[in-house]
Structure 1
Amino acid sequence: MNVEKIIVIGSGISGLTTALTLQLLGYETVIYTDKEADQISNKNAHAEFASLFPSASVIPHSLYSGQLKELFRTSQSFFYELRNQSFSGLRIHRHFEIFELEQDEPRYSNWMVNFRPITELSPQVIPRRSCSQNLYGWTFNCIFADWPRYFPALTACYKQSGGNITRRKVKTEDLPALPADTIVNCSGTGSRELFDDPLDEQLVMQGHLLHKPEAPLITNSSDEIISYNYTPKASAYSSSSGEACDVYCYPRRDGWVLGGSRETGYLSSPNTMECSKKHAESYQIGGLTIPTAILDINKDILQTTFGHSLSPSDKLHPLIGYRYLRSKEDGLRLDHETMYGKTVYHNYGHGGAGVTLSWGCALALASRITSKNKPQLQKLLLKEFEHIT
């Protein structure tokens, strides 16, 4: 029996998840990539490769798409099923989104598990600064992918299932001769030149992160792992447009991931992003400039609410990465076209939701390629996971 071969371009979370999905559904897949996460030592030299250091909470933040609800709910459902199968690195956080100014509930309030406004909670359990007075927001359960465990486990599953990762930088002139009639493009920022992305506007979001190794998990009295996004008043921390900016903390088994910043800029080439914001107050940590608010506000919250310490003198690893928004109208590109006699499926422009939508987008493309509905494919895929995990 002839098995159709599919080439996936890009080895980030979208490329890997899509390739694994198609491989488990019976296709012969190969990933072409010019860089692999486990072979990159200087992560800050490849800020465009977002899969090197995601916070990896399954929450639909920082994405523009009319397909968001359907894709998110499919992805969320699949993540919960994988967790039920004890797939490595997946756990549940009790997550808080807290604001110092009143906010409307987010559009995803009905999509999250155990969503509750914080007015229903005791004030002592709500992440807060020492000077906090009135707070607003909500809490819910969410899947968290512990990246140092989850991503390697996903890669191992792909290789165990027969998938192949080939180091190769694909150029536009290479496309006609690629040895497959079906191509899946998950090259992210590389899509602008490789496939001549049709949008003039090419937005990216810059983010600063700090990793504190060996920091303990943050838990509550019910042994739930706690994470948070916290937005103070704009006078304490703001974006270049003057809007209040949030900080966050996600505990992993190897320490805390602290952020953040969300400065929007423009993609001028696959590896060059232009962000205009320069933070007046900053720390120099590990040779990088990090906004002081990321450390100072998190320090206050962690000490005030949870009794944990954080200091500029701690062993902190700084990171600066980019999320490819593409456009604020409908940035996610999940479609197909015919080029050089081949069918090219596009899967990029996820903004800050690459991990969040990884399974939803993979199953959506698989449905188009196989002409089977997503519930049917999800059931088949879960059975295959039982065999290899």
Structure 2
Amino acid sequence: MDSELSGDVVVVGGGVIGLTTAVVLAERGSRVRVWTRDPVERTTSSVAGALWWPYRIEPVASARAWALRSLEVYEALAADPDRTGVRMVEGVLGEADLDKARAWAGERLPGLRAATAEEYTGAGLWARLPLVDMPVHLPWLRQRLLDAGGTIETRTVSGLGAVGAPVVINCTGLGARELVPDASVKPVRGQLVVVANPGIRTWVVSTGGDGEMAYFFPHADRLVLGGTAEDGVWSTEPDPAVAEAIVGRCAALRPEIAGARVLGHRVGLRPARDAVRLEREPQPDGRVLVHNYGHGGAGVTVAWGCAEEAAGLAAS
């Protein structure tokens, strides 16, 4: 039953935020259980494009600090990309302001520069950033947690109050809408297309004059194409017309994408909120509840920074 005592800490949620938080806690000496409704391979995190860069996340200042701390970790993990799924890859952030980017990230990313006309049509910046292959990274996080003595259980939680552990970390993403409950958490639907990689080694993120996004991220033999950002849309079924439009927008950037063989389709619901909720909430019965959710489109980008802050709140 949900109220069963379950160790020092229970982390509710098995996506990238929950697993990373659990790893930090376990490696600091806590006995940690992760309770997750879905296996890690079926979480929203598993379908993320997962380029490191803050996107649709507030507050901006905090998000940048969390992102920079996470960058340090990802740079180290990129030393073993086959195992961790993290690589440092060059590409172009279209329509990005170089001076603004340098103001907050230039010290950590000294290679930031303006993209050349050959690299991108229009204004943009060239950067070498972490690109995370989530089908590799999530199982690696899971194993790192298990190696640190943590455990993972697939189970449905009826409410956070029913989790009978001294410390509970709420990393439920969109699930917080019902579990907290917090009606301010809303979905932002993202659809991706996975194609055979025609030999592309760099990534591009572009926003057209009509506001439509186009991006592609290379992962060895495949290319992840995106995307969409549909506020308030709950459907997780791929839309063939949307998929066709995504391929078309990406092919406008790199024509060889047009003939690439389609390998699959992905849809995920980003857990958007006006501001990330990362705070400690003492309970009347003496238990501690720490919230760590609402990361929008930047869960991977801020995962380690938020995990360390959540672990600190749990211990304070």
2:14–2:39 Cα contact (<8 Å) kept: yes
State the distance in 2 between where 1:216 and 1:19 align: 38
State the distance in 1 between where 2:34 and 2:198 align: 36
From the superposition, tell whether residues 210 and 291 of structure 1 become closer, same or farther in structure 2 (CA, over 3 Å).
closer
Deviations 1:234-277 (A, max 9, x none): 2xxxxxxxxx22200001124000001112226xxxxxx389xx
- Does residue 75 (structure 1) correspond to residue 70 (structure 2)? The answer is yes
Query: Superposed, which structure 2 residues align to 1:114-263 within 5 Å?
Result: 114-118=111-115, 121=116, 123-124=117-118, 126-128=119-121, 135-172=122-159, 175-176=161-162, 178-197=163-182, 200-213=183-196, 215-219=197-201, 226-234=202-210, 244-263=211-230
State the distance in 2 between where 1:287 and 1:229 align: 21
Secondary structure of the structure 1 residue equivalent to 2:314: helix
State the distance in 2 between where 1:55 and 1:171 align: 30
Q: Tell me how far 1:26 sits from its aligned partner.
A: 0.6
State the distance in 2 between where 1:353 and 1:58 align: 8
Q: Tell me how far 1:179 sits from its aligned partner.
A: 3.7
Q: Which amino acid is the alignment partner of residue 206 of structure 2?
A: Y
| Aligned residue in 2 for 1:294 | 246
Q: Tell me how far 1:105 sits from its aligned partner.
A: 4.3
Secondary structure of the structure 1 residue equivalent to 2:299: coil
State the distance in 1 between where 2:290 and 2:101 align: 27
Aligned residues: 303
The equivalent position to 2:49 in structure 1, one of 55, 69, 75, is: 55
**TM-score when normalising by structure 1:** 0.72
State the distance in 2 between where 1:104 and 1:35 align: 39
Q: Tell me how far 1:37 sits from its aligned partner.
A: 2.6
Structure (1 or 2) with the greater helix fraction? 2
Q: Tell me how far 1:291 sits from its aligned partner.
A: 5.2
State the distance in 1 between where 2:244 and 2:154 align: 39
1:286–1:317 Cα contact (<8 Å) kept: no
| Aligned residue in 1 for 2:282 | 338
**TM-score when normalising by structure 2:** 0.87
- Structure 1 regions of 5+ residues with no counterpart? 41-48, 129-134, 220-225, 235-243, 267-272, 276-284, 372-389
Identity %: 26
From the superposition, tell whether residues 261 and 94 of structure 1 become closer, same or farther in structure 2 (CA, over 3 Å).
same
Q: Tell me how far 1:85 sits from its aligned partner.
A: 6.1
State the distance in 1 between where 2:46 and 2:84 align: 18
Q: Tell me how far 1:90 sits from its aligned partner.
A: 1.3
Secondary structure of the structure 1 residue equivalent to 2:254: helix
Q: Tell me how far 1:217 sits from its aligned partner.
A: 4.9
1:325–1:350 Cα contact (<8 Å) kept: yes
2:97–2:125 Cα contact (<8 Å) kept: no
1:35–1:167 Cα contact (<8 Å) kept: yes
1:16–1:155 Cα contact (<8 Å) kept: yes
1:212–1:257 Cα contact (<8 Å) kept: yes
State the distance in 1 between where 2:246 and 2:288 align: 44
1:175–1:340 Cα contact (<8 Å) kept: no
